[in-house]
Structure 1
């Protein structure tokens, strides 16, 4: 069903940062233009592209009056999104990455939930396309209507909320006093806990509607980069928000942070260039040790994640590689 523009149909501002994506931008914008909910303001931000992205933005804009183009110096994803937030006029806000695309009725489904004025945020699942073309769905099996506390628990435990900005529709008011931190790695993970805290009701739809595309040529799993290490600081935001406002959820926030730091350590340990990051490895192992001890003070975390906490403890004492070799030897002896 096509939802047409009119005085009683509220507008969605769709913010699309674009940097050197001339090969993907048209597919992305086409998926927005063809939405069944069509009262849209589509803001394309050319973030100082060095290819033909800026020219393509202007060409596309001439084909649809709903499209606005901003050209700016390169400032990164957060800065580009903030530029869109500063000029958008819609009652609702959405972010789309310029090399992704969305299902035709995504905004219509989201806006049906927004008819309830208590709903501040609506999230959908992802359709992930791997670099080899295979696809998989990620998201909730059932529609969920959550309080703030329940949304935090979902983020930490069920992981259907996803610490991502792009699969969600927001009421404009959420961004009145909030912006993405410029220059921050994993900026979505940093801002999502702040957004959840100022929401009323959150809805997660049991439909995968956002196409997240993994491209060939991205950093491979065999390589570790300093940005992987620097990106772990964002998980502390969720811990701090819960410490201040949701003490019942704090243990799960602390374990969430610990598990993500451990995942980063494992990526480093398994990487081909791990010798280049020996200082970062020492710091990661020290942080994991401290945060494991912290998590052990909560009985519910010990009961639920006792085995994982034991693994973390062994890994930081003898090192992940040594632990992995011992596990393989033990498995061979059993065989």
Structure 2
């Protein structure tokens, strides 16, 4: 079996059906399994019947009914415990994959003789205005992670636009920390033990919905201390520190603040700006002058922001008063 899809259903919104249908419409029935975790205290009869009927109809669907609301991390770990595909892919409720997703992924894996550990792909971010994902990784290139560290800097911080080789997850007992949303820690642990990384940019392989964050927004940045410490512990930090720091500062200065700005919560935006400025201001000069990834980066939007963050910070604070 090629892919284990894991999805957590935390509420009764009908959008979950779109995610499920996009998986079961895949052409190659034998090459995947779908693991559905219903993370709810009170299960609704209609919803339960929908999944039970799917379970009866398709013998490649597995169901887990949580007896309480445990959260995504706990549920993802349950899914990992019972999955059996060569690769694992997480799907967020409401997101949909392309009809030929498995066929396309299988093509690239076979072309590279089944020697890919992590696969990242382009997607469309669905919001009030659709946003095309963008990466500065070379399209359709297989990176040797023991020699070329660019994916450590340029990997997208989303969990959902990637496939991970299950063998690595099992061999190193990687899982998610309960009660927090430490997606990037999971991704970077897998990066540390992977040999190959493929970025696909031939088409949009998934529609991902931009929705309000259902956990502490600070989880996005708080996990970076754990990422840095993990790489120090396995003695790889010094070798790739510039790549990790580039990803870290891009996360807190650009992606994180942009995400929070979508909440229209002025107090939260103010706290985030102050946090980012506090973490970055004293490191700014060294980062923009000496970080080799930053100096070579073609991401002019982030470079401009990093070089002028003091002005950006002050202007943003004025606008939210």
> Into which bin does the TM-score normalised by the smaller protein fall?
0.7 to 0.9
Out of 148, 159, 164, the position equivalent to 1:165 is 159
User: Gaps spanning 5+ residues in structure 2: where?
Assistant: 297-301
Out of 184, 191, 216, the position equivalent to 1:227 is 216
- Corresponding residue for residue 127 of structure 1: 124
- Larger radius of gyration between Structure 1 and Structure 2: 1
- 1:130 offset after TM fit, Å? 2.3
- Corresponding residue for residue 45 of structure 1: 37
- 1:194 offset after TM fit, Å? 0.9
Look up the SS of the partner of 1:208 in the other structure: coil
Confirm or deny: 8 A CA contact 2:288 2:307 kept in the other structure.
Answer: no
Confirm or deny: 8 A CA contact 2:37 2:75 kept in the other structure.
Answer: yes
- 1:110 offset after TM fit, Å? 1.6
Cα separation, 1, equivalents of 2:253 and 2:55:
45
Confirm or deny: 8 A CA contact 1:13 1:43 kept in the other structure.
Answer: yes
For normalisation by structure 2, the TM-score amounts to: 0.78
Higher RCO, 1 or 2 (CA under 8 Å, sep at least 6)?
2
Out of 13, 19, 24, the position equivalent to 2:10 is 19
Look up the SS of the partner of 1:179 in the other structure: coil
Which moves more between the two structures, 46-55 or 83-92? 46-55
Cα separation, 2, equivalents of 1:194 and 1:275:
33
- 1:311 offset after TM fit, Å? 1.6
2:184 corresponds to 1:184: no
Confirm or deny: 8 A CA contact 1:79 1:182 kept in the other structure.
Answer: yes
Alpha-carbon displacement from aligned partner over 1:79-114 (angstroms, at most 9, x marks no partner): 111111112233332222221111122122222333
Cα separation, 2, equivalents of 1:68 and 1:270:
35
Confirm or deny: 8 A CA contact 1:100 1:213 kept in the other structure.
Answer: yes
Cα separation, 1, equivalents of 2:222 and 2:26:
37
Confirm or deny: 8 A CA contact 1:113 1:119 kept in the other structure.
Answer: no
Distance 1:238 1:58, change over 3 A: same
Distance 1:137 1:250, change over 3 A: closer
Alpha-carbon displacement from aligned partner over 1:202-238 (angstroms, at most 9, x marks no partner): 11222321121345xx47xxxxx98223431123445
Out of 65, 72, 80, the position equivalent to 2:75 is 80
Look up the SS of the partner of 2:158 in the other structure: coil
Confirm or deny: 8 A CA contact 1:295 1:301 kept in the other structure.
Answer: no
Which moves more between the two structures, 59-68 or 235-244? 235-244
Distance 1:138 1:57, change over 3 A: farther
- Corresponding residue for residue 100 of structure 2: 105
- Corresponding residue for residue 4 of structure 1: none
Cα separation, 2, equivalents of 1:34 and 1:271:
34
The 5 A counterparts of 1:204-215 are 204-206=199-201, 207-214=203-210
2:153 corresponds to 1:156: yes
Confirm or deny: 8 A CA contact 1:47 1:74 kept in the other structure.
Answer: yes
Cα separation, 2, equivalents of 1:191 and 1:136:
24
Alpha-carbon displacement from aligned partner over 1:115-150 (angstroms, at most 9, x marks no partner): 424221222211232246x46455677311112257
User: Gaps spanning 5+ residues in structure 1: where?
Assistant: 1-9, 220-224, 326-335
- 1:172 offset after TM fit, Å? 1.5
C-alpha RMSD of the superposition: 3.4
Out of 258, 272, 275, the position equivalent to 2:249 is 258
- Corresponding residue for residue 7 of structure 1: none
Confirm or deny: 8 A CA contact 2:260 2:268 kept in the other structure.
Answer: no
Look up the SS of the partner of 1:45 in the other structure: strand
